Structure formats: structure tokens, C-alpha cells
Amino acid sequence: MSSNLYIEIYFDNPKHIELQVLGDGKGKVISLGERDCSMQRKHQKVIEEAPANIPQKLRDDVYAKVCKVMGEHCYRSLGTVEFLYYKEKLYFIEVNTRIQVEHPVTESVTGLDLVEMQLIVGNKGEIPNQSDITIRGHAIESRITAEDPFTFIPSPGKVTQYLAPGGPNVRIDGALYPGWVIPPHYDSLATKIISSGKNRDEAIKTHKQALKELAISGIKTSTELHNWIIERKDFLEDKVSTQWLEKALKSKD
């Protein structure tokens, strides 16, 4: 065995699970639940959900370990601890010490404003107790990008029409308006649609309607891709992985 070689386990079709935590910098760290961010293309997240479908025993175990370790290091602020989920085990990837694009799904199921929580902690304020945190229902987020929905060629330019979906349990995070010019120099994210419900099936039903109502003209967007994904049997049965989308698009009619 050569000491010049470094061997890692290869995971075929893992899920991407991330745990949201909040620390006060004094040793207190609480969990705000987890997200499933497995729907990806080239390791870039496309759809996120909360909570993730993992065994309760595993969930409790990882919550306890993560909060203990980060508490011992007096972690302060929001943090996202990311894992690969494979054969009912979690394998650590990294910690992102900031708020994430997908934070609205966590806000939807906890009822907390994570941006407000981050500001409170930054000002050395108090954070909730773990016993105050309750996960209710299910939430789904679609990242709508300014690019062709299936070739993924960027589509910067002027937005000529924008109609956002509405109704109960639908949230829009974005700043689009008719006349806004999406520049070619930055991330192609145009807006986000977040839908919630009492359970995953209800959240999906609401999300389907929201995607159908979304209207953006003047540029191409990934809306059609999201409409396609949310009708797939594997997605509806929660049987996707980090590699699912790219494989599914290759076999798409």
C-alpha cells in the first residue's frame, strides 16, 4: 500500500441532507431541522425540501452530536452542516457558516425568521431553547433560474412580463419586475417559489399550482424543468438522489 494514495468511499446515488443549526457563541447550539437538497444538477441545488425523509433514530443521533460538537466550540450564528445520506448512514461533508439560499423551507416548517435570528445572534442576543422548536408540515422550494430549462444555456436580458403566483401557503423570494435586466455576470437565480402544506403530498399539490401560475417573459427560465420534475414518479415517491436529475434528463423524451 502506497502512502501517496488517498482512497475515499464512492457513493452511488446518495442523498444530500443538511442540518440547520443556530448557536449563541456561549456554548448553546440548537437544531432547526434538516433539509433534503438531493435534486441537483452538476452539484448545484435545484429543489430543496424540509424536513428530510430519514429515520427518526438517525435524526436524533446526528442532532445531538452536531449540537454538542458545535457547542463545545462556542459556535455563534446560523450554520448548515451538510452530509451525504447513503444506506441509512450520514457522512459528513462540510459546514457552511452562513445563511443558505434554501433557508425559506426551514422557516416554513419552524415558523422562525432565520435572517432575524442571525441578526439577533450577531448582536449577542438570546436564542430559543431546543424545546421551543417544533417542526410542522412540509415545505418545497424551487430555484427558478434565468437559463434554458433543458440545455441550461444562460438567458440574461430584460424581463418584459412577470406574474408571481399567489394564494395560501405560497411564498416568493425574489425581486423580479417588468423592465428588470438580468445581467450575465452573476448567478442565474431569478426568483424562488416556496410552497408548504400539512404533509409532503399537500406541499407538492400547492407547488404544482404555483409553478403553473408563474409567468416570466423576455428571458428563458427553468420553470418548465421544475414543472417536468414535479410530475415524475421518482420525485413524487421521494426516490431521487444527487445523480437522479442528470440521469433522468438523458433519458427524457
Q: Which residue has the cell 403566483?
A: 165
Distance from C-alpha of 173 to C-alpha of 47, rounded to nearest angstrom: 14
CA-nearest of 55, 211, 51 to 138 is 51
Going by the DSSP 8-state scheme, the letter that residue 10 receives in this structure is: -
Q: Which residues make beta-bridge pairs with 248?
A: none
The burial class, CB within 10 Å (0-12 / 13-18 / 19+), for 232 is middle
Active-site residue, selected from the candidate residues 35, 59, 98, 136: 98
Q: Are 106 and 171 in contact (CB under 8 A)?
A: no
Distance from C-alpha of 85 to C-alpha of 187, rounded to nearest angstrom: 27
CA-nearest of 196, 219, 88 to 142 is 196
Helix (H) or strand (E) holding 2: none
Residue 132 makes CB contacts below 8 A (sequence gap 6+) with none
Reading the block at residue 196, the C-alpha cell is 408548504
Distance from C-alpha of 30 to C-alpha of 71, rounded to nearest angstrom: 9
Helix (H) or strand (E) holding 170: strand 170-174
Is 98 a catalytic site residue? yes
Enzyme catalytic residues:
98
